[in-house]
Amino acid sequence: MLELIEKLEHAHRYDAVISLDYDSRKRGRLKAMTDSGEEAGLFLERGNLLVAGDCLKATDGRVVFIQAAIERLNEAITPDPLLFAKICYHLGNRHTPIEIGTSSVRFQPDHVLAAMCRDWGLFVSEIDAPFNPESGAYGKHSKHHHHD
């Protein structure tokens, strides 16, 4: 089993890829599979969120690239910038992880939050996509690129 023990600041190459959903990227201990089918275990310090693009070092020296897996999400869309700002505020006020695009906001499936967005006049749909939520006001700026 590939034992991943250290998060690297940067890497110029990688030997394998692991696709993880958002909830799995929050865990320090996890059994996973590389995209090529090799069994892997994460043995990282707790409290470090992995983001798409992170690289992990294994005990044997190999480097693994972390990719955001495709997962089911709610996406709320509006062309109205003021309405969009308000809905992002209300979602954030509920401490909901959100991924903000140009005119859409994505969040993990939640029928109450989806109904709130619809009540405010946004179009809400379920989509399958990688989820890279904002890191928060005091977190480091994330490496991912926003959608739309």
Helices then strands, counting H and E runs in the chain, come out as: 3, 10
Q: Are residues 63 and 44 part of one domain?
A: yes
Domain assignment of residue 136, yes or no: no
Q: Are residues 18 and 63 part of one domain?
A: yes
Q: Are residues 111 and 81 part of one domain?
A: yes
Domain assignment of residue 87, yes or no: yes
Cα three-residue angle 87-109-127, rounded to 5 degrees: 90
Residue 138 DSSP label: T
Per-residue pLDDT of the chain (148 residues; tens, 9 = 90+): 999 999 999 899 999 999 999 999 999 999 999 999 999 999 998 888 899 999 999 999 999 999 999 999 999 999 999 999 999 999 999 999 999 999 999 999 999 999 999 999 999 999 999 999 998 665 554 444 445 5
| CB proximity list for 107: less than 8 A, separation 6 or greater | 73, 74, 76, 91, 96, 97, 98, 99, 113, 133
Structural domain harbouring 54:
2-68
